[in-house]
A and B are shown apart, each in its own frame.
Chain A
Amino acid sequence: MSTLHAQKATNTLPHEPEKATLEGRNKILGFWLFLAGEAVLFGTLFATFLTLRNQVADGPSASELFSLPITAVATLILLVSSLTSVFSIQAMHRGNVKSLLTWLTVTVLLGFGFLCLEIYEFYEYVTHYGYGMTTSAFSSSFYTLVGFHGAHVIFGICWISIIIGQVAKKGLTVVTAPKVYVSAMYWHFVDVVWVFVFTVVYLLGKVVG
């Protein structure tokens, strides 16, 4: 412990290491801009889904298809992962690398759990209901919207895993800190999108569909 202390004293990491350099600040700003673009991307996907939500052709409708328990569990998992992501950033601000790595790992595992549920759900639809991409306009828009979100989760899992490796290897520096921060932003945004997905697709699908 004493050597660790000495290290901290000699090259003191600033209090918000992700914003210590211009590169870091640029990265965070640029990522906000990217998220603004992502908002439009998902907005268009939601628009597509909403306009085609009743176009089920001969296939099943939303209320016949969706199961609330699975969605509720998936939502809970993703919400908790958002909280663990916040904890990882707090650990980073305390300069506690070990705690940071733990929370990032928990976040990744929760993301993986969410993903497994989604794959299970899609698999059920395809095998039990014969409900695929080509069934109806509704099914196309459902798989595209929810699949785009799922693809974001996959990307997030891979990304955060790579960052875990980098922090473990290089430590917490003014180069790695912005990466951690930005990936946390991304993860929260994925959660934000999911809030609209479960509300608009699953819950409203049950109510209105």
Chain B
Amino acid sequence: MAHAHSVKRHKGLMDWLTTVDHKKIAILYLVAGGFFFGIGGIEALLIRVQLWKPMSTFVTAQQFNELITMHGTTMIFLGVMPIIFAIMNAVIPLQIGARDVAFPFLNSLGFWTFLFGGLLLNLSWFMGGAPDGGWTAYAPLSSTTYSTTHGVDFYTIGLQIAGLGTLIGGINFLATIITMRAPGMSFMRMPMFTWTTFVTSAMILFAFPAITVGLVLLSFDRILGANFFNVELGGNPVLWQHIFWIFGHPEVYILILPAFGIISEVVSTFSRKRLFGYSSMVFATILIAFLGFMVWAHHMFTTGMGPVANALFAIATMLIAVPTGIKIFNWLFTMWGGQITFNTANLFAAGFIPTFVMGGVTGVMLGAAPADYQFHDTYFVVAHFHYVIVGGLVLGLFSGLHYWWPKMFGRVLNETLGKIEFWTFIIGFHLTFFLQHFLGLIGMQRRVYTYLPNQGFDMMNVLSTIGAFLMGVGVIIFLINIAITARKPSGVENDPWGDGRTLEWAIPSPPPEYNFKQLPLVRGLDAYWKEKMAGNTEMTPAEPVGPIHMPSPTIIPFVMSVGLFIAGLGFMFTTEDFGNSALNFIFNNYIVVILGLGITFGSMIVHSINDDEGWHIEPEEIDGKGVEA
């Protein structure tokens, strides 16, 4: 930054630790999410190596349990959700024509709590063993009786802290979309990705408190000796299942809805057509969210809830196919008759549609309660949810990253490498998981660390492992692509695709820190496209040029998250005997917990009593930058 400001500006590492700029927080989310995605991917490969041949001894049963638990947990909570938040942070304020999010401070806090929660969870590998009760941590598997290490404590506390970050992020995006839209942008003029972000955030708001409570109950059971899931003193393990899935089922829609939004943007842009059936898309999104809360017990068909509950939840589950079908047809009709460009982003979008449909179809099959008794706990289920989450969400994320990369970094990713990456990844994906449907149908059980030879499993498992490595190669090509692209000079034009429809393409790539010199006036759906069609090269401003108020950078969110990390670690070891009187004293008397919470609440108070005056960017400075761009 060559410009002098009255406010203290940080450089280098300190800039990243203190930033409240949503575009920088997006990059932080992307890097951290990518890091955990890599760890989760390595765990997946280790699982596939173990299952490559029958009776393999590559890992032990205990290590296998830890690997599957951490693979699922890491991928969902620490891998894909932060990458979703990365794209939301990078795109949403730009798409709604805002200079910032509603709560820049909380935005930063959400990131740091997620990161420290994730680090705490992964610390378990080095501190006596990772959680081993499956990503669903069903009691009594997760009780101290069957899980004797601190693994599940790392799970409960780590996810608690990370989940707090997600909840904060959800509230932030809800408020941002409700109050910060540019003049003229009514709810029904919002881009589809903004809509799905809005609905996803609402689902986060209603679903995450349930898992917060669930994790509290489980950690109280394990650490304070409570009896929520302890049958001996009246507890009920089914309670955990209900609470987990009341959160867990909405969670899968929290994952997939943003992908729906990304696909809607990409398909529409690269078909050079307005999204077909926009209002039905909005309606379908809201309906999916509503139904998403009504179907949690279809994960529990075999628990024994009885025919009435099973029938109700089966019907509700199948109903979701209707709004989802509306979406699929709308994407197809958007492409129908369009001038389609098959670049990498659109290839991923086009690959998403049939792949996700396959995941949806097996979902309806699993939703049929009587059939579920056959499918339950087999690789058929594994195949199903990987089709939905990898074939749906991850393809959507790759599509979104290729599509918005130039907006985030000012450089277009290499198309040739992108196409190689796409084909490697999608072929590898189908090779890995298509076969697992049949493995499940002929009786291979999930979550078991090995299998006997000559049951018809051998060949398909070999192919499945090869597929997993192909997916790994695809991801590595993506990383190489990023490295190569990063060496190119920054600063592509505002709308590098030439067909951008929404507001983010009306401003420089990457955008200046205030995003919009003047807030744009929105005159319809696909606001930028509408101006282009009217012969304008840029948006009509809704305000004169004036000084722009910016929030000050702050280290407090980082410090607060460190405090939570310390408190969490302290709480976990309150009953531990370290064989060291000093350590025993500070841990067993809650001194570490109090210290950690003291740091968190202390910095919260400091933040509350010191009003942030912020700082201003003056019009002359903006003009200077305008010329540069």
> What mask results when residues 208 to 229 of chain B are scored 1 for a CB within 8 Å of chain A, else 0?
1110111011001100111110
Chain A residues with Cβ below 8 Å from B601 are: 158
A44 touches B174 (CB 8 A): no
Flag A173-187 by CB within 8 Å of B: 1 or 0 each: 001000100000000
Q: Which residues of B contact A143 (CB under 8 A)?
A: 226
Q: Is A131 an interface residue (CB 8 A)?
A: no
Q: Which of B174, B206, B208, B235 has the most CB of A within 10 A?
A: B235
**Contact segment of A26-34, A62-70, A84-92, A120-128:** A26-34
With A25-B179, A134-B224, A134-B226 known as contacts, the answer to whether A30 contacts B209 (CB < 8 A) is no
Distance (whole angstroms) from the CB of A176 to the closest CB of chain B: 9
With an 8 A cutoff between CB atoms, is B171 at the interface?
Answer: yes
**A7-36 Cβ-contact flags toward B at 8 Å (1 or 0):** 000000000000000100110011001101
CB distance from A196 to the nearest CB of B (A): 15
Within 8 A of B (CB), among A24-57: 25-26, 29-30, 33-34, 36-38, 40-41, 44-45, 47-48, 51-52, 55-57
A144 within 8 A of B: yes
Shortest distance in angstroms between A29's beta carbon and chain B's nearest beta carbon? 5
Which of B171, B216, B226, B235 is A37 in contact with, Cβ under 8 Å?
Answer: B171
Does the CB pair A56–B234 fall under 8 Å? yes
Q: A26-B103, A26-B179, A137-B235 are in contact. Are A37 and B228 (CB under 8 A)?
A: no
Give the docked Cα–Cα distance between A45 and B239 (Å). Answer: 11
A166 contacts partner chain B, Cβ-Cβ < 8 Å: yes
| A residues less than 8 Å from B210 (CB atoms) | 40-41, 44
Q: Is B611 on the interface with A (CB-CB < 8 A)?
A: yes
B533 located at the interface, meaning its Cβ lies under 8 Å from any Cβ of chain A in the complex: no
Using an 8 Å CB-CB cutoff, how does the interface string of B223-254 with A read, 1 for contact, 0 for none? 01111101011111001001100100000000
* Cβ contacts A82-107/B at 8 Å (1 or 0 each): 00000000000000000000000000
Contacting residue for B234 out of A136, A144, A166, CB 8 A: A136
B159 at the interface (CB under 8 A from A): no
- Cβ of B103 and Cβ of A137 under 8 Å apart? no
Complex: A144 Cα to B232 Cα, angstroms: 19
Q: How far is the CB of B243 from chain A (nearest CB, A)?
A: 6
Distance (Å) between the CB of A184 and the closest chain B CB?
A: 16
**Residues B609 and A136 in contact, CB atoms below 8 Å apart:** no
Say whether A57 contacts B209, CB under 8 Å.
no
Does A144 lie within 8 Å of B217, measured CB to CB? yes
Task: Give the CA-CA distance A29 to B173 in the complex, in Å.
Answer: 12
**CB within 8 A of A26: which of B175, B224, B235?**
B175
Contact: A29 with B179, CB < 8 Å? yes
User: Which residues of the partner chain B approach A30 to less than 8 Å between Cβ atoms?
Assistant: 102-103, 106, 171-172, 174-175
Given B220, B224, B605, B611, which contacts A175 in the complex, CB threshold below 8 Å? B611
Does chain B have a CB within 8 A of A204?
no
Cβ–Cβ contact A44 & B243, under 8 A: yes
Cβ B608 vs Cβ A166 within 8 A: yes
A134 to B220 alpha-carbon distance, docked (Å): 10
Instruction: Indicate whether A52 sits within 8 Å of B236 (C-beta atoms), given known contacts A30-B102, A37-B209.
Output: yes
A36 contact from B179, B206, B230, Cβ within 8 A: B206
Cβ contacts under 8 Å, B459 to chain A: none
Q: Are A162 and B220 in contact (CB under 8 A)?
A: no
Alpha-carbon distance A51/B175, docked complex (angstroms): 35
Residues of A within 8 A of B236 (CB): 51-52, 55, 137
- Flag if A57 contacts B234 (CB, 8 Å): yes
B205 interfacial by beta-carbon distance below 8 Å:
yes
| A144 contact set on B, CB distance < 8 A | 216-217, 220, 226
Chain A residues with CB under 8 A of B257 = none
The reply to whether the CB of A138 lies closer than 8 angstroms to some CB of chain B is yes
* Assembled-state Cα–Cα distance A57/B212 (Å): 26
Query: Residue A141 at the B interface, CB < 8 A?
Result: yes
Is the CB–CB distance between B605 and A45 below 8 Å? no
B612 smallest CB distance to A (angstroms): 9
Q: Which of B209, B230, B609 contacts A137 (CB 8 A)?
A: B230
Q: Is the CB–CB distance between A52 and B179 below 8 Å?
A: no
The answer to whether A52 and B234 touch across the interface, beta carbons within 8 angstroms, is yes
Query: In the complex, are the beta carbons of B171 and A33 less than 8 A apart?
Result: yes
Q: Which residues of A contact B207 (CB under 8 A)?
A: 40
The complex places the Cα of A36 from the Cα of B216 at a distance, in Å, of 19
Task: Give the shortest distance, in Å, between A140 (CB) and chain B (any CB).
Answer: 4
Chain B residues near A51: list those with CB within 8 A: 236, 239
Provide a sorted-by-A list of 23 A–B residue pairs whose CB atoms are within 8 angstroms.
A22-B179, A25-B179, A26-B102, A26-B179, A30-B103, A33-B175, A36-B206, A37-B205, A41-B209, A44-B214, A44-B243, A48-B228, A52-B228, A52-B235, A55-B235, A134-B233, A135-B233, A137-B235, A140-B221, A143-B226, A144-B220, A162-B605, A166-B608
B residues with a Cβ closer than 8 A to A are 102-103, 106, 167, 171-172, 174-175, 178-179, 205-210, 212-214, 216-217, 220-221, 224-228, 230, 232-236, 239, 242-243, 246, 601, 605, 608-609, 611
**10 tightest CB-CB pairs across the interface, nearest first?**
A55-B234, A137-B234, A140-B226, A41-B209, A44-B213, A40-B209, A137-B235, A134-B225, A137-B227, A57-B233
